[in-house]
């Protein structure tokens, strides 16, 4: 309880989402978008426009230190990390 998903793009925090409140958040960049869902204390990428679909195929996360990384065929763009 009390954890949060921290969404960063190019090293900058763009959103912090409490794991205690179910919600969705769309991350838009010039390279594409991801939709992050917080549900029942878990963070998950439920939709993405990446070419290979790996963005949305990663496991959902909920423990401190777990990370989902999105690359968009270029240098690291997004990290979602539980704190």
Q: Write out pLDDT tens, residues 31-74.
A: 888 899 999 999 999 998 877 777 788 888 888 888 887 765 44
Contact at 8 Å (CB) between 73 and 30?
Answer: no
One DSSP character per residue, 49-71 reads: --SSSHHHHSPPB-STT-EEEE-
pTM (2 d.p.): 0.80
pLDDT-derived band at 76, boundaries 50, 70, 90: very low
Position 43 scores a pLDDT of: 92
Average pLDDT over residues 11-15: 87
Position 73 scores a pLDDT of: 45
Closest to 78 in 3D by CA, of 23, 13, 4, 17: 13
Contact at 8 Å (CB) between 48 and 34?
Answer: yes
- Residue 82 pLDDT greater than 70, yes or no: no
């Amino acid at each position: 309880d009390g954890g949060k998903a921290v969404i960063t793009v190019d090293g900058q925090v763009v959103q912090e989402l409490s794991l205690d409140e179910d919600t969705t958040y769309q991350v838009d960049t010039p390279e594409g978008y991801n939709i992050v869902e917080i549900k029942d204390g878990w963070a998950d990428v439920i939709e993405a426009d990446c070419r290979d679909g790996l963005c949305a195929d990663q496991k959902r996360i909920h423990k401190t230190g777990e990370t989902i990384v999105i690359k968009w065929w270029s240098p690291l763009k997004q990290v979602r990390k539980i704190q």
